[in-house]
Structure 1
Amino acid sequence: MPKQVDYLLPGGRHGVLLIHGLTGTPAEMRFVAKGLNRRGYTVYAMQLAGHCGSVEDLLATGWRDWAASVREAAAKLGAQVDKLFLGGLSMGALLALNYALEQPDSVHGLALYGTTFRYDGWAVPAIAKLSFLLPWVVPLGIGRKRSFTEVFPYGLRDERMRNRIVGAMFGEDSSAAGLPGNPWPSLAELYRLARHVRARLPQIHTPALVVHATEDDVASLRNARVVMDHLAGPSELLELPESYHMVTLDGERERVIEGSAGFFQRVLRGESTQHAGMPLQHLRAVGAD
């Protein structure tokens, strides 16, 4: 059975629900959680169904189970706060978008960290870049016991942090840093979720901050472009030139915290943000120092 490792940091009447990624753990959100909590937010770093346990635990769940986890966690946090924001990393960003699609009146803003519609980063092996085919391959009985193992640089540019995370990842406790590989059936579920959300982006009017590494090794900046180009609501881009995929843990994590807190405050003050349809190259200036 998965170990329960979610955590709640009590604060004020504005809350932030943080959603980790596929095969990940709430621990990957800890710096952002503590940073936002220091700024007065009540923060809940939730745990997705099937995560923080064995591969078998994960394989027993799919994207609809993960979405149900988000709804349950949002209801738990929403009962304690007046305004609710969601922040998600990688697949967690997709789940945050999905929640805004399902419950548009319940969420006031989104922080999307390394949004992943497709594994197309510069470090993804060629065979893994074909993983978008898995929703059609897995139902045929192909690859049910296979997985793509994480590869260098493991989403982290910061060498010291990378060594810590990799050591924990390849240890025996998946609750510390997640599983070291992505099972094919679970990746197929991610792509089903991605397809579901991407087709419905024009229906999402919730303000969004899109945070993405310029040189994301897992999910290229094209994933951010999809969000910026198709969201119906106002959006901003914070581009990180010195980070890789795990922006909540990497060297620019303070910029992630400051950017998120500043964006939430602008939403609360009712200030307008950049429109999603503006050219990506223009929006890069939003995250400039």
Structure 2
Amino acid sequence: MGRSPAFRFEGGREGVLLVHGLGRTPDEMRLLGKGLNRAGFTVVGVQLAGHGGDEDELLASGWEDWYASVEAAADDLRGQVDRVFVAGSSMGALLALRLAAMQPTWVAGVGVYGATFRYDGWSAGWATRIAFLLPLFKRLGIGRDRRLLQWPPQGPRDERLRESFGRGMPSGPAGPIDRDGDSWHALAETVKLARDVRRRLPAVLAPCFIAHALDDEVASPGNADLVARHVRGPVEMLLLADSYHRITIDRERRTLIERSADFFDRIAREARIARTAA
């Protein structure tokens, strides 16, 4: 699989950093990024360490490396705009939340799209029962070439979108949708990341826009509820009834774009008003 470079769309003085999911590329966030840019935001899609190359490169990286990519991109962006918002998909949502917890003065708001703390969607099968063991397996060197498979269909709920994104583009905007599942050792890193971020959720003070598919095949809406219950910032929730896990490219992506742009814009306007009043 060829590399997919990070993208940047120049806009106004409000910036949005977009974070892709495990084994994916910034392209799964590109449609969202274009929509936010049309709404006036400067948008950057970060390329996570270890992603965009072959599987050996992915397995040589860990969640700390992925988070370091996000923090470095956010630090760069905040020097160029007045405010930074961060939004992530799936595992990327966890990285976005961690940035808000670790660097609260950097993050004005968080987009939490299909957050995956637990692999408990309807296609996960027995994956949810062994996920907690994966870090141990990795430490013992067990299962490097093993994968957790999902029941089909994979990718967007819309069959035409699934075919277009899976076949009509070199690897689709979300990476190869018809891949053979996720490596145990890569998933082990997401389990460790989820444990770390879950402990840090009360440190998230920024407003959170939480979007999740009701019929998410990877991570049940209980993952969204988990975030809403434990963060300390204001929460706005969007539950999507006609999408699967990849909500940034699925049937309701326009709704996601509009609601995200409105959420970030309201925060930015309130901040400007508060600054003027002061």
Question: TM-score with structure 2 length normalisation?
Answer: 0.91
Rounded Cα–Cα distance in structure 2 between residues aligned with 1:113 and 1:13: 23
Amino acid of the residue matched to residue 214 of structure 1?
A: L
Query: How far is the alpha carbon of 1:123 from its aligned partner?
Result: 1.4
Rounded Cα–Cα distance in structure 2 between residues aligned with 1:98 and 1:12: 25
Which residues in structure 2 correspond to 1:1-289 (within 5 Å)?
Answer: 3-127=3-127, 129-167=129-167, 177-178=175-176, 180=179, 181-270=181-270
RMSD, matched Cα: 2.0
Rounded Cα–Cα distance in structure 2 between residues aligned with 1:252 and 1:174: 18
Rounded Cα–Cα distance in structure 2 between residues aligned with 1:160 and 1:174: 13
- Any stretches of 5+ residues in structure 1 without a counterpart? 272-289
Structure 1 stretches of 4+ with a deviation exceeding 6 A read: none
Count of aligned pairs: 269
Residues 139 and 233 of structure 1, relative CA distance in 2, 3 Å threshold: same
Per-residue displacement from partner, 1:164-206 (whole Å, max 9, x unpaired)?
233379x7x5986157231111100001000000011111111
CA contact (8 A) 1:83 1:107 kept: yes
Amino acid of the residue matched to residue 217 of structure 2?
A: D
Residues 175 and 158 of structure 1, relative CA distance in 2, 3 Å threshold: closer
Amino acid of the residue matched to residue 201 of structure 2?
A: L
Per-residue displacement from partner, 1:62-87 (whole Å, max 9, x unpaired)?
00000000011112222221110001
Amino acid of the residue matched to residue 131 of structure 2?
A: S
Local SS of the residue matching 2:270: coil
CA contact (8 A) 1:54 1:174 kept: no
Amino acid of the residue matched to residue 86 of structure 1?
A: V
Per-residue displacement from partner, 1:218-275 (whole Å, max 9, x unpaired)?
100000010011111111101101111000000000010011011112212339xxxx
Residues 168 and 192 of structure 1, relative CA distance in 2, 3 Å threshold: farther
Question: TM-score with structure 1 length normalisation?
Answer: 0.88
CA contact (8 A) 1:16 1:42 kept: yes
**Greater mean deviation of Cα atoms: 200-209 or 137-146:** 137-146
Amino acid of the residue matched to residue 158 of structure 1?
A: D
Local SS of the residue matching 2:107: coil
Query: How far is the alpha carbon of 1:162 from its aligned partner?
Result: 1.0
Rounded Cα–Cα distance in structure 1 between residues aligned with 2:174 and 2:228: 33
CA contact (8 A) 2:123 2:150 kept: no
Amino acid of the residue matched to residue 246 of structure 1?
A: R
Percent identity among equivalent residues?
49
Query: How far is the alpha carbon of 1:101 from its aligned partner?
Result: 1.2
Local SS of the residue matching 1:70: helix
Amino acid of the residue matched to residue 220 of structure 2?
A: S
Amino acid of the residue matched to residue 133 of structure 2?
A: L
